[in-house]
Amino acid sequence: MSSKSLPYKRIVVKFGTNLLTAGSNRLEKDIMSRLSSQVASLHHQGLELVVISSGAIAAGRYKLGLAEEPKGIPYKQVLASIGQSRLMNVYEQLFEQHGITVAQALLTKADLSNRAGYLNARNTLLALLELRVLCIVNENDVVAVDEIQEAKFGDNDNLSAMVANLIDADLLIMLTDTAGLYSADPQRHPDAHLINRVDKIDAEVERLAADTPSEMGTGGMVTKIEAARLATASGVSMVIADGRLPDVIIRLAGGEAVGTHFLPSALKLESRKRWMLSGLCVRGKLFIDSGAATALEKKNRSLLAAGIERVEGKCQRGDIVNIYNSRGRRIGCGISNYSSADIETIKGAHSGQIAELLGYDYGSEVVHRNNLVIF
Ligand code: GLU
């Protein structure tokens, strides 16, 4: 079959720890073999795939066989460094059987936070796709410590959305050990049903995710919804599905409705805007009034000083800022023409007053619509 008949060309597929271990304390080769065969089959049909794989920490823990967490050492980092090579070793053997060369990329949030790092990672991943080498990505847990939030994704859900954003994927498949997002906790509500399709991630979807109990690796449903927000805003479709279903990756790549499908909320964005959206380099927060929110969301307008109610954090002119509506919901982000100190002075003012208030004027837009991404 040629890839022309398939709806997606470039796919990121993420395997969670609980899927790879089948809930046990070790990597389950059978399940990894089934997943790898599906990826291999799509690869041979001409699709471009990148795999995000968890399981390093679980593999390290199993190898060490310690019943108790030793005190005084960065335990998770140690486990990740032991397990990562074991994890890769399994993939290497499995994909070898299909004649596919694999590569490893270990990323951290800090690596991607500056524009140069983001572009370097992007170039490497795109070059691997070009060479038809299958790249297997994980967070570099050895250096990305929990304590430094800005440096670490912390879960592979967010990492996989970032990679989908980075390489401009068409589809992000998140495989786990549940069927998807439910209308209520299925353990407590027997009439709970699987939600097949989410058109827009709103407060209700977030509430459902928060209510879904999770024994799923580090992430759980909340981080999957965070990931869906970034993926869909970047123009990427996302699916959460049960990785144990037969041929699930192949079926999803063929456009079959399995699991919960999140529709892209935007058309594909140019790379610069996708990077802004990634939120990796955000310096400040602007809270705007409802009139300004409507102008941004519905009328594709720039953000003017008059609509800004409050500024939090410190930013310089040219930094990326997050934009929140009056209910505290993040609605977009963009490049600020003014520093946070300037915005503090001009917020609420009409454009004509800016020069008078500051003694200079960089234009009437605090964030110009060309430098703005709305979710
Ligand atoms: N990077 C972690 C690992 O390989 C997994 C993080 C997650 O479960 O999301 O074990």
Digit-coded pLDDT (tens) for 147-190: 555 667 878 999 999 999 989 999 999 999 989 999 887 778 88
Is any ligand 1 atom within 6 A of the Cβ of residue 27?
A: no
What is the pLDDT averaged over residues 226-249?
Answer: 94
| Residue nearest (by alpha carbon) to ligand 1 atom 5 | 54
Is any ligand 1 atom within 6 A of the Cβ of residue 226?
A: no
Most informative mutation of 81, 141, 142 for ligand 1 (most atoms within 8 A of CB): 141
Is any ligand 1 atom within 6 A of the Cβ of residue 21?
A: no
What is the pLDDT averaged over residues 242-259?
Answer: 97
The string of pLDDT tens digits covering residues 276-286 is: 777 777 789 99
Interval between CA 75 and ligand 1 midpoint (Å): 14
Give the domains, in start order, of the chain with CATH numbers. Answer: 7-273 (3.40.1160.10), 282-374 (2.30.130.10)
Q: Is 50 exceeded by the pLDDT of residue 192? A: yes
pLDDT band at 265 (very low <50, low <70, confident <90, very high): confident
Looking at residue 214, its pLDDT comes to: 55
Looking at residue 94, its pLDDT comes to: 98
The string of pLDDT tens digits covering residues 311-358 is: 999 988 888 899 999 999 889 899 899 999 999 999 999 999 999 999
16: three-class secondary structure by DSSP: coil
The string of pLDDT tens digits covering residues 108-150 is: 988 887 778 888 899 999 999 999 999 999 999 888 766 555 6
What is the Cα–Cα distance from 151 to 107, expressed in whole angstroms? 10
Interval between CA 79 and ligand 1 midpoint (Å): 11
What does the block give as tokens for 58?
């679980």
Interval between CA 145 and ligand 1 midpoint (Å): 12
Looking at residue 56, its pLDDT comes to: 95
What does the block give as tokens for 8?
């997606």
Is any ligand 1 atom within 6 A of the Cβ of residue 87?
A: no
- pTM score of the predicted model: 0.82
Looking at residue 213, its pLDDT comes to: 61
Is any ligand 1 atom within 6 A of the Cβ of residue 219?
A: yes
- Kindly list the distances between the CA atom of residue 78 and the CA atoms of 23, 108, 143, 357, 362, in Å, as whole numbers in the listed order: 22, 16, 10, 55, 50
What type of residue sits at position 324? Y
Q: Is 50 exceeded by the pLDDT of residue 216? A: no
